[in-house]
Amino acid sequence: PFLIPRTIQNVNGQTVQLWPEDTYSVDHSHAGYIHDFHADQATQSVTKNDGYPLDQEGLHYATDQSGTGAPIVGSSNTAPSSNPTLQTKQKGEVVISHLDCDTIPFLWQLADRFVLFDNFHQTETGPSTPNAIAMIGGQSGDTQWVLHPDQADPKGLTLPNLTDSPPFAGSATDTAAIKPPYGPDESVNGNATAPDTVYQPEPGQINLTFATLPLSFMGSQIGAITATDQHLPDDLADVTADILKIATQAPVNWGWYQQGYGPEPFDGQPTAMEGLVYAQGTPQHASYIVHHNGPQYFGYLGDNPQVLAHLNGLQQFFTDVGSAALPASGGVFYARGGYYNNNGMKPADPNATVQVSTPGNDDHPNYSDAGISEALIADEINAIASSPYWSQSAIIITYDETDGLYDHVPEQFRTYGPDGKPETGGPRIPAIVISPYAAAHAVSHVYSEHSSVIRFIDELFGLTPLGALPNEAAARAAGAENPAFNGPNGPQKNLGPADAPALLDYPPGMGNLLEAFDDDRLEGGKAPLPASYAMITASPPPGITLNASASDVITSLPHFAGTDANHNPSYGCQYLGITPTDYPGGYAPGAEIDPPPQDFNPRPTQSPGEPYLNINNNTAADPVSASTGPWDPPGTP
């Protein structure tokens, strides 16, 4: 994939800002991923991974891999065509582009200093919701599909869940007296053309009933906690034996912190998805993305008042860490961003549309800015490193899924859904492990997934693996024995969570993240890494002067931007001492080795057109500093 550079030259030789922090969100639906993989038709296991641009362009394959010439339908969100438009062609270019340390230097610094996983995969071949569910369940509904085949849907709308449909808990369908919130984007009138003053939640997704980590975390308290479920006995019908097993274990402290779930500092601001719809005074939860909240999809979690006490807004994370309010005995705590950010930051791109539409902080293209998103990570790392928790912490930074961006590494599919297409064992996603006991400057090549994080937690806290809990194990066995659940290659032995190695029949295996830790540090033979090593601060190397002050290094964009000793612009790569491979000249780049196409546009829907031709007729001597936008057509707000 080619690098999205910070600037490009237009046809008149002018330097034009490209603003790579803000990009279009390519197709990352289940159907889109299937097109991207371009697996052989017979076994659905050997992939070419050559369909990513074609999916965005709406093109057909000439033949399938079997060589029969059977047509394969193009994109799931673009009408099939033999001639892509400029905009769909640009979407196909975005899918094979990448960012470097000039754009996201905080993440590069952490990846360089600690442990980067280069073989970490998303579990589900679908968008955010199924993978948010897999983060706590290791699956998105395989075992529930086995127990309730009538609930299955070939399109993934129900079981296994392979779409971004909102959850049952908190929805218009949910009759519980105490319910979790819905954000306005999942409101009946979400993304409407007039302000939505009612915020009536949509009808929700089917209720999920298989085992999860939060269920296991209840431990010996599980009887008392589940007794307060508002939808008994239905919520617990599929985990009755699991509950008895979990009751023999010690409970584990846990929490889920997510932007907009609770009160946030900028609740009154227009949010990324609703900024063009809702005026100032947007109510609470406007920055909340309900379909990113894995626990809310389970009735025994989302409709249980005792469990809801573990779910909070993102700002509460900083309050709890800063006041040392987290349990001294430790636990598992998740933190997620959303449609806005708690620093009140705006994208560096001065374009008015981008300013309003892209202030999110969870690094999801189209509404989140990459700089604002890594600022959240820096704030979280700095908060933990400045607290008593650093000395006993293991911080895992990862993504739910790729957003459909290109990966050249062939997938190793583990299960297939009701549509007969690959369901688990998806493309690679970034993952970094940070800890005072971590290895330094290390890379893990071990096959890992969301189930690897679950396995790490299982082993750290002595929990029975989800896949080995009685109800889950029985459903896995039933699925393997029943031909109704066969995949294209026969019986499916790996349906459900993959955190129990003894029950897994999967050649790559499933890592547990333990290779990220230095045994000498754990055993006291080597000093732990200091908190200062993890913190994001202003420490420019000799010859570099930052534009930002020390107090603004996290909130000033682009991060680590400044000037070098020769008064030339410098960015994150030079600050970090990392020589890019995209340019033969390193810090003083000439032409890129693999340059972007001349019509490349990272935001083909927000700023349509060709950047080389359309820069507001800017004739200033210095277009980079004088331009009011990257290449906005005349009349763009």
What pLDDT digit, counting tens, does each position of 57-81 carry? 887 554 444 444 344 444 455 555 6
pLDDT of residue 351: 87
Instruction: For residue 272, name the pLDDT band (cuts at 50, 70, 90).
Output: low
CA atoms within 13 A on the CB side of 305: 6
Q: How far is CA 352 from CA 26, 31, 268, 613, 628, in A?
A: 22, 33, 19, 20, 9
> Each residue of 526-571: pLDDT tens digit?
999 999 999 999 999 999 999 999 899 999 999 999 999 999 889 9
What tokens appear for 37 in the block?
């993989």
Cα angle value 150/154/160 (rounded, 5°): 70
Give the mean model confidence (pLDDT) for residues 266-277: 58
Continuous H helices in 343-411: 352-357, 370-385
**What 3-state DSSP class applies to 147?**
helix
Q: How far apart are CA 273 and CA 295, in angstroms?
A: 22
Please report the pLDDT score of residue 153 as a whole number.
78
How far is Cα 113 from Cα 5, in angstroms, rounded to an integer?
24
Q: Please report where in the chains the tokens 């929805």 appear, as a residue.
A: 171
Q: Is 312 helix (H, G, I), strand (E, B) or coil?
A: strand
Residues 6 or more apart whose Cβ sits within 8 Å of residue 341: 259, 266, 359, 360, 361, 372, 375, 376
pLDDT: which is higher, 75 or 226: 226
Query: Distances in Å between the alpha carbon of 32 and those of 8, 55, 122, 159?
Result: 30, 7, 15, 18
Sole residue written with tokens 């949910």: 174
pLDDT tens for 138-187 read: 999 999 999 999 988 776 668 899 999 889 999 888 999 999 998 776 76
Domain segments of the chain as ranges:
30-94, 105-407+421-522, 538-579
Q: Read off the pTM.
A: 0.92
What are the C-alpha distances in Å from 106 to residues 82, 530, 536, 538, 548?
A: 41, 18, 7, 11, 15
- What's the rounded Cα separation, in Å, for the pair 498 and 506? 9
The confidence score (pLDDT) of residue 586 equals 67
**At 234, phi and psi to the nearest 5?**
-60, -40
Residue 353 confidence class, pLDDT cut points 50, 70, 90: confident
CB atoms within 10 A of CB 369: 29
In this model, does residue 616 exceed pLDDT 80? no
DSSP, res 14: -
Token couple for 361:
């902080």
pLDDT for the residue 435: 99
